[in-house]
Amino acid sequence: MKYVLILYVCSFINQANPFCNESHIVPLEFETYEECILQGYKSSHNTLKKLYGERIEEEKLAIKFYCQKVKVGENI
């Protein structure tokens, strides 16, 4: 088993009901959950800065992420 990292871009304008509408699968495979989850913090930062920098403040953006366990060769 390996892990893949999935990021969700969420708007927290309405903090009681955040809206997550965009997702990104990081094109890497991780051997352990630890490697995957630690990369999640780095990828979250980079994704927000590079792709959503101008929208962060206006839309109150944040990233939610998790590591999905997958079998090698399995499509997700």
User: What pLDDT does residue 72 have?
Assistant: 75
Q: What pTM was estimated for this model as a whole?
A: 0.82
Inside any domain, residue 76: no
Inside any domain, residue 66: yes
Work out the burial of residue 6: count CB atoms within 10 Å of its CB; fewer than 13 is exposed, 13-18 middle, 19 or more buried.
middle
DSSP SS3 for 73: coil
Inside any domain, residue 11: yes
- Give 30's DSSP letter: B
Inside any domain, residue 50: yes
pLDDT digits (tens, 9 = 90+) for 10-63: 999 998 899 998 899 999 999 999 999 999 999 999 999 999 989 999 999 999
Inside any domain, residue 75: no
User: Structurally, how many domains does the chain consist of?
Assistant: 1
Which residues, in sequence order, are bridge partners of residue 67?
A: 5
Tokens of 67: 């590591």
The whole domain housing 53 covers: 2-70
How do strand 61-70 and strand 2-11 relate by DSSP bridges? antiparallel
